[in-house]
Amino acid sequence: MDAQKPTATLTEVWRTLDELVAAVRAADGDRYRELLNQAERQEITEEQIRDAHAWAMRTPSALQLHPADFDWRGRTVK
């Protein structure tokens, strides 16, 4: 049985997802897009990224004067 070595540890994946949430809450699209590239290298799934974005958008800190103007893919929306 050949086991493939994961590209990132669970801790690294968790940290990246937390940073994605923080970028959404800060409405920092540039940082979010950088983290998307990192998430891709770590093989974080689309579902995990979508969940992180949705979580950030529905928590009280997302109800700010300047909410994030980008979707879960990092594309600008208005």
Grade residue 4 by pLDDT with cuts at 50, 70 and 90. Answer: confident
Q: Determine, yes or no, domain membership for 1.
A: no
pLDDT for 54: 93
Q: Tell me the pTM.
A: 0.81
14 in a domain, yes or no?
Answer: yes
Structural domains counted in the chain: 1
**Is it the case that residue 1 has pLDDT exceeding 60?**
no
Domain range for 28 is 10-62
| Structural contact between residues 27 and 59, judged by C-beta atoms closer than 8 angstroms | no
Residue 19 lies in a domain: yes
For 18-21, which contacts have Cβ atoms below 8 Å and span 24 or more sequence positions? 20/49, 20/52, 20/53, 20/56, 21/52, 21/53, 21/55, 21/56
- φ and ψ at 33, to 5 degrees? -65, -35
Q: Is residue 4 part of a domain?
A: no
Q: What mean pLDDT, rounded, does the chain reach?
A: 88
Report pLDDT digits (tens) over 8-20: 999 999 999 999 9
